[in-house]
Amino acid sequence: MKKIFLLLLFVTVAAGQAFAQRTITGTVTDAISGEPVVGVNVSAKGTTVGTVSDLDGKYALSVPKGSNAIVFSFVGYKTQTIALEGASNILDIALEEDVLNLDNVVVTAVGVTRDKKALGYAVQEVGGDKIGQARETNVVSALAGKVAGLYVNNSSGTAGASAFVRIRGTNTIQGDNQPLFVIDGVPIDNSQNYTGNPDNGEQNNLVAGVAHSNRAIDIPQSDIASITVLKGAAATALYGSQAGNGAIIITTKRGAKKAGKGMNVEFSTGYDVTSYNKMVPLQTLYAQGNNGVYQAPSSGQSRSWGPLLSGLVYNPEIPNPFDKNGTIVSQSSYPNGKPVTAYNNIDDFFQNGSNWTNALALSGGNDLGTFRMSMGYDKSNGIVPNNTFAKGNIGINGDMQVSSKFKISAGATYINSGGTRIEQGSNTSGVMLGLLRTPPSFDNSNGLGEDAVDDESSYLFPSGAQRNYRGGGGYDNPFWTVNRNPLKDRVNRLIGNIGLTYTFTDWLSLSYKVGNDFYSDRRKQYFAIGSRTAALGRVIEDQYFNSKFNADLIVRADKQITDDLRIGGLIGHNMRSNRGQRVYNQGDNLTIPGFYHLSNASTITTRESVSRSRDMAVYATLEADFMRAFYLTLTGRNEWTTTLPEGGNSFFYPSASLGIVFTELAGLSDNKFFPYGKIRASWAKVGLGSPFLYATANYYTSSIASDGWTDGVAFPYAGLSGFESSDVLGDPNLKPESRTEFEIGLETKFLNGRLGFDATYYSGESVDLIFPVPVARSSGYSSIVTNSGRMTNKGWEIVLSANPVRTGSGFNWDVEYVFTRNRNVVEELAEGVPTIILGGFEGANIRAVAGEPYGSMYGTGFYYDAEGNRVIGSDGYPLADPDERSFGTYQPDWTMGLRNTLSFKGISLGCLFDFRKGGIMWNGTKGALYYFGTHKDTEARDQVVVFDGVKAVYGADGLPVLDTNGIPVTSGPNDLAVPYDQSWLSNGNGNGFVGNNTEDFIENTDWVRLREVTLSYRLPYKLLKKSPFGAIDVTVTGRNLWLTTPYTGVDPETSLTGATNAQGLDYFNMPNTKSIGVGLRITL
């Protein structure tokens, strides 16, 4: 083996010597400031040979024979090409700022880099520095407010929680609507996997359980060089069906040869303190009880409709196991007792969290190649006690220049992530459910305050029974949950690629890249004996395995035919496969307390699921550039897939785009007032695939009989296996979902580039949408999976950039504005299918409904007359309507991001404001707390009110009279005065828990928030010039420091079901967070 290695090394060195004919060295500086520019691409023209400038701006490039020029390029600067004939071997270059960014290149589909001005569709790039400044654990969260057309929603503020991302609306009804993520040419997985019995279905498991991660959370942000967002169908056409929802292209940092000896070293660290930013308001006046009468915890009473606390005292002479102060009695019965005051259960429970990030990178190289090795470790302690998330990563990438024509690139990153997650949502063990329902007269901490989490006496009696406000029943004490019901997960992930590039001539090259993303996700969940979710105890072992393989072979040409005509393009072949497996084991009825092992369970439920698919495609592009003003691109991709019927699984997806730089035609390119103007247009058809892998035939499944509440009976049962034919019929004629999109845009720059404007209008249509359609039960099936639906998206995207102030002393004020407006309508569903439920509860759910916006919120409410007046019943209260109806959609009318950056020499102050207008959310938490009497609004419980509305007319049968349209007949304005108290808010229809009342708890989610604020300082280069340091940066960062919104619950940036299509549900969701922290970055 050693001999083989030495032989390969010899051949490599010999090859390097054969093509390295001349070494050019020098320094690259900024033409204005004179300071070195780090990371400038320095390449030998017509070859794959290149390097980048180091931390001192220095470079060294071995130029092969046949190359007669060096090209210097860097984002924000004009590209310079220097002829070598007659030039010195020492070339110092001063780069001029490219105020128009006309030389800016972006990474497009299948990893091809192109001049941005040549594109006929909208793309937007975010630099790695802006991602790092966000100080978010999840790279998806870091994109919020930065890209037009991009919708980002964080599910909660817990450590490791998921974030949902969408580009230009939703395109499929039941499939994944999130974009494709690609890292260095390798598509990766961004799934959110849930834990829970698969027999209960994904939707039911997601409204309870814990906050899971989306797998993009694993991406090490310190390794990101840039992110390009491909928004429309034309931009992603070469990816075919895997990127029908857009694509997020991540380019990682690469190594660079250091001009002197040694390696480049980069180290960064940061520490942030977090706290909740918005909380549900709770009442502090009334005690546990019913109808104004106090009832102790031992009664099991769930509600807080007791007497005023001000009339109660503690009697220490009567021992009370639930409160160290004594038994609560009326003040009249024990006049000298200690007054009962409201406990602050919220602040006793939540803690200050923290995020600690660390990253180290080493890079270097020589004439033969370069490398970069990185390591990182991030640790988050959540605001919920015992909630943690940690991520460690190690990665290496490199480029080897085997010859002047042949280059090898490779990279691999290993990530280990996971932590401890806490129960939430519609869950009797959920933290927020038990916490917010607790009466103000009960202390969950048992007098221990913030130290309660580490002391069992807060949630456990000496007998081993649980201590909670309902005498051990009802809902788990939050301190019990965080200690006795955790879910621990551990992800091991490897993302790798290897690429080969051979350059035949300066206009023709061949490349092949193969990559794979593999991870295992192991989870262990347990519920202690005595937990309310599983009183006899439960242990779960849940394992996911996922692998995505991708390979692309590309022949690319780019030829300057004449001075005015350039022709380019590519021909490619793609092969990809996805493999997934889940093994779920649930053990119930534990024998030995505290022993969480499947062997300790008397009942075992086991489920296994396997998914496999493979796709192949050929694709091609044709690019034409005429007079550097007309840019035409045509693409075509033909796909074959195993998820569709054999013989009917070949599909073609074309696109066409055109960009016209009209300022080149008008001779305005040198005009300082209006130097750049471009119009662009594109049309494309792309696939969306199938949301169901096995939908073309019928299969057998394990038998199960359940009532939806109990666990039911599932096979294997009583030692017998049982299978039955699925009641969902497959469709042998199934076609892929697809969408077409037309896009037109305008790009302009004014005042020598100091004012830029980019506007895009798009209109897209998704057809042949796949979902189950009901069939007659007499057929033996309940539904058939088939193509039936149609949906549209139309919208505007605007990007505005400005540099209002730029002085010769180095002071700059930069402004960036992004605006998004999208209208997403479900145009058609199948005959007999008026609605499809995407998630939620009976009485409050998210749907796709024909003729309505996607994501419509449905629930129950009250009757209204033809003029829109609420109808009041004969009892003086609003008249309940038993039929569910739409209250609107969770999707916003528009979103906007506004960033201002002030900089002066090494000091920079930036802030990002995030605006959202429109969209609704179901505040199910508030609706339930009205019933339990703990919401702040229920303090006003002894009033007499007259409800606005009109009085219903009743018939002889005592029922309201309805007209032919089902609208109540009314008799004039309501004048009936009624009590506004427990009888309405808890026992009647005034609550959203048992009151069949969704309507009163639908709230607007408008917001304006200070998403990010960053103050940074870079030590002057002159100060460090004689030190070993290349740069030292110190930053102070704040996130979510200010929020204004009409929403009355937790921060409306929340989602009960996480990163799914069923957004807009808040039912005892965890609160979101704000943070402030410091960071340090050092380069050597």
Q: Domain-by-domain residue ranges, the chain?
A: 18-98, 134-274+354-429+485-696+731-855+890-919+1008-1083
- Alpha-carbon distance 629 to 663, whole Å? 8
- Alpha-carbon distance 437 to 470, whole Å? 10
Strand, helix or coil for residue 671: coil
Secondary structure (H, E, C), 147-202:
CCCEEEEECCCCCCCCEEEEECCCCCCCCCCCCEEEECCEEECCCECCCCCHHHCH
Contact 1021, 36 (CB under 8 A): yes
Which residues are CB-contacts of 439 (< 8 A; sequence separation ≥ 6)? Answer: 286, 287, 288, 304, 306, 469, 933, 934
- Alpha-carbon distance 455 to 864, whole Å? 54
- Alpha-carbon distance 287 to 292, whole Å? 9
Q: Which amino acid is at 514?
A: V
Which residues are CB-contacts of 1022 (< 8 A; sequence separation ≥ 6)? Answer: none
| Secondary element (H or E) of residue 219 | none
Q: Quick one: pLDDT at residue 12?
A: 42
> Which fold does the domain 134-274+354-429+485-696+731-855+890-919+1008-1083 belong to in CATH?
Maltoporin; Chain A (2.40.170)
Contact 25, 90 (CB under 8 A): yes
How many Cα atoms sit within 13 Å of 819 on the Cβ side? 14
Rg (CA), the chain: 32
- Alpha-carbon distance 314 to 331, whole Å? 8
- Alpha-carbon distance 770 to 222, whole Å? 39
**186-188 vs 977-980, strand pairing mode:** unpaired
State the pTM of this model.
0.91
- Alpha-carbon distance 888 to 21, whole Å? 69
Read out DSSP for 501-512?
Answer: EEEEETTEEEEE
- Alpha-carbon distance 480 to 278, whole Å? 24
Contact 915, 1042 (CB under 8 A): no
Peptide bond into 316 cis (omega under 30): no
Helices (H), 66-166: 128-134, 139-142
Strand, helix or coil for residue 869: coil
The dihedrals phi and psi of 1008, each to the nearest 5 degrees, come to -130, 125
Contact 309, 442 (CB under 8 A): no
Q: Quick one: pLDDT at residue 442?
A: 98
- Alpha-carbon distance 686 to 678, whole Å? 25
The dihedrals phi and psi of 1004, each to the nearest 5 degrees, come to -75, 140
Strand, helix or coil for residue 921: strand
- Give every residue of the chain whose pLDDT is below 70, as ranges: 1-21, 99-103, 259-261, 706-712
Strand, helix or coil for residue 104: coil
Q: Among 322, 317, 321, 319, which Cα is nearest to 333's?
A: 317
**650-661 vs 676-689, strand pairing mode:** antiparallel
- Alpha-carbon distance 674 to 755, whole Å? 10
Tokens describing residue 820: 């998004």
**CATH 3.40.50.720 matches 18-98:** no
Which residues are CB-contacts of 266 (< 8 A; sequence separation ≥ 6)? Answer: 359, 360, 361, 363, 1081, 1082, 1083, 1084
Contact 1078, 356 (CB under 8 A): no
The single residue listed with the structure tokens 């090394």 is: 9
Tokens describing residue 431: 């933290």
Contact 346, 434 (CB under 8 A): no
Q: What is the largest CA-CA distance in the chain?
A: 108
Which DSSP category does 879 fall into? P
Contact 982, 291 (CB under 8 A): yes
Which residues are CB-contacts of 391 (< 8 A; sequence separation ≥ 6)? Answer: 137, 217, 218, 220, 376, 377, 378, 415, 416, 417
**811-828 vs 844-849, strand pairing mode:** unpaired
- Alpha-carbon distance 110 to 528, whole Å? 50
Q: What is the dihedral of CA 859, 861, 865, 869, to 10 degrees?
A: -120
**920-923 vs 1065-1066, strand pairing mode:** parallel
Tokens describing residue 763: 């209109």
Q: Among 708, 729, 712, which Cα is nearest to 774's?
A: 729
Tell me the C-alpha to C-alpha distance, in Å, between residue 145 and each of 151, 923, 1008: 8, 24, 11
- Alpha-carbon distance 64 to 59, whole Å? 16
Tokens describing residue 384: 């919920």
